[in-house]
Structure 1
Amino acid sequence: MRIRRAKEEDFKEIWPIFKEVISKGDSYVFNPDTSMEDAYYYWFGEGIKTYVIEEDDKIVGMYKLIANQPDLGSHVANASFMVSLSHQGKGFGRKMGINCLKEAKKAGFKAIQFNFVVSTNTGAIKLWKDLGFEIVGTLPKAFNHMELGLVDAYVMYRFLDDIQL
């Protein structure tokens, strides 16, 4: 496993993972027919730092790091993660999560906030709790799960003061 900063040409490997993850309609708000252009902007838009995780020189997941809010809220980061379905549950998300915490602290952020963690995404919730995040809010019936209908989403938060670089 190797994590590195993404290059624009990596999008050709990021795009199929993005499509695969959103097609399930169970963890991201994106419509399954989201355009390639919109996906590209999500990962490589202004102010976004994107990282990829590779196995055998093949990208199997990615995360992005960005300020959660501008100006007076810019000391809190936001991040999003995706792992290809065939690589989920094998530690790639955890490795990226740990790397993200370190990169966020290096960048000067004081905390990380996840704005929208789907309540039925139990693997992600367990991972983030294991990495020190807390659920600080519940958004009732905020996500329209493609199989379960309306389910809650969580806001999760973690300070970075204990992260060792």
Structure 2
Amino acid sequence: MATGEAGGIIRPVTPADHDAIWAILEPVLRAGETLAVDRAISREDALALWLSPDRTVRVVEGDGTLLGTFYVRANQPGGSNHVANAGYVTAGHATGRGVARRMCAASFDLARDLGFSAMQYNFVVSSNSRAVALWQAMGFAIVGRVPDAFAHPTLGLVDTFVMHRYL
């Protein structure tokens, strides 16, 4: 467990967290603006995806609630399994409190502990300017752009970025 500027602790997920994780994921998934997941995904399928066995999942808990959740996994198998991938979702009520920055920093430590030497985000939606700016502030470089790769519900087709950094 760790504490930090965003308050609370970062800890492994327990089955008792599933309802709270769904409460964090559902509005983001339904909005369809940042994650490449079917907006109509069921609770069961979303939790199965987020908590899949190939992911090491953590939650940030503070103020008696979950403030966010993130995972770390191998970006690809085999010869690329030294590069991590991660995903993050902050609870709506915790936005702007440093939770995403804290999860990102914690994911670096977790990835190193799991034996990874770099981290790559495969699909950062370019219109998610807050996330792009945060990932760049955390040391990620945009190493690729995929034109019109994401169907944003209000902006139409937008580019996505591939972002990378060494750990």
With normalisation by structure 2, the TM-score equals 0.92
**How many angstroms does 1:86 deviate by?**
2.1
Residue 107 of structure 1 is matched in structure 2 by 114
Local SS of the residue matching 2:149: strand
Deviates more, 1:149-158 or 1:44-53: 44-53
User: How many Å separate the matches in 1 of 2:20 and 2:79?
Assistant: 35
Pairing 1:16-55 to 2, within 5 Å after superposition: 16-55=23-62
Q: Structure 1 runs of 4+ off > 6 angstroms?
A: none
Residue correspondences, number: 160
User: How many Å separate the matches in 2 of 1:71 and 1:57?
Assistant: 40
Q: Percent identity?
A: 39
**How many angstroms does 1:31 deviate by?**
2.3
**How many angstroms does 1:41 deviate by?**
1.6
Match of 1:71 among 47, 67, 78: 78
Deviates more, 1:101-110 or 1:39-48: 39-48
Match of 1:9 among 11, 16, 23: 16
Which sections of structure 2, spanning at least 5 residues, go unmatched? 1-7
Counterpart AA for 1:123: R
User: How many Å separate the matches in 2 of 1:54 and 1:21?
Assistant: 19
Match of 1:90 among 73, 97, 114: 97
Match of 1:126 among 99, 112, 133: 133
Match of 1:62 among 69, 91, 114: 69
**How many angstroms does 1:60 deviate by?**
1.7
C-alpha contact (below 8 Å) 1:77/1:111 kept by paired residues: yes
**Alignment deviations for residues 30-87 of structure 1 (CA, whole Å, 9 cap, x no partner):** 2221011211122211221100011123112100110001111110000000011221
User: How many Å separate the matches in 2 of 1:120 and 1:97?
Assistant: 19
